[in-house]
């Protein structure tokens, strides 16, 4: 019993580390990576651990349009931009966006937060497009 708990703690720690080493990965991406360390770990365990982290506020779960949920260990206020070319998710820390999206009054309603997803092209994809 004791042993099992210890292994679970190790796995949880490793899942968190993998999450931090990847860039806004989906649960599947975390699973594929963690399997190289823990070959017997199940997909269900990885999904459950990530879900638990998100529920307890240790990480953020991002529900983006037209893609699997992604996980983000950065809790500080920021928004996300998704590249139309490669699908990569980039952090947007923008005081301008913050100013627009918080404290705005629209028709008898005061906005105090927003889930925003920006779209565009990352520098790599922009370069590829310009060269093509
Ligand atoms: Zn791109
Ligand atoms: Zn992020």
How many angstroms does the Cα of residue 1 sit away from the middle of ligand 2?
37
For 53-72, write each residue's pLDDT tens digit: 999 999 999 988 888 899 99
Same domain, 20 and 67: yes
Q: Which residue has the higher pLDDT, 58 or 6?
A: 58
Task: Say how many domains are in the chain.
Answer: 2
What is the pLDDT, as a whole number, of residue 105?
84
Ligand nearest to the CA of 122: 1
- In CATH, what number is assigned to the domain containing residue 90? 3.30.1490.190
**What pLDDT does 97 receive?**
81
- Ligand closest to CA 129: 1
Higher confidence at residue 60 or residue 97?
Answer: 60
The domain boundary, picked from 43, 71, 99, lies at 71
**What does pTM read for this prediction?**
0.81
Buried b (16+ CB within 10 A) or exposed e, 61-99: ebebeeeeebbbeeeeeebbbbbeeeeebbeeeeeeeee
Domain with 107, as residue range(s), is 76-131
80 and 67 in a common domain = no
- Quick one: average pLDDT of 14-25? 96
Q: Which of 46, 71, 96 is the last residue of a domain?
A: 71
Say which residues have a Cβ less than 8 Å from residue 5's Cβ, sequence separation at least 6.
none
């Amino acid at each position: 019993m004791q042993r099992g708990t210890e292994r679970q703690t190790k796995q949880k720690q490793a899942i968190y580390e993998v999450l931090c080493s990847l860039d806004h990965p989906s649960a599947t991406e975390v699973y594929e990576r963690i399997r190289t360390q823990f070959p017997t770990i199940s997909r269900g365990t990885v999904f459950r651990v990530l879900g638990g982290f998100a529920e307890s506020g240790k990480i953020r779960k991002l529900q983006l349009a037209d893609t699997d949920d992604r996980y983000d260990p950065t809790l500080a206020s920021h928004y996300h931009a998704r590249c139309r070319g490669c699908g990569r998710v980039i952090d947007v820390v923008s005081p301008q966006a913050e100013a627009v999206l918080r404290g705005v009054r629209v028709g008898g309603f005061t906005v105090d937060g927003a889930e925003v997803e920006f779209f565009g092209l990352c520098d790599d994809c922009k370069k590829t497009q310009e060269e093509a």
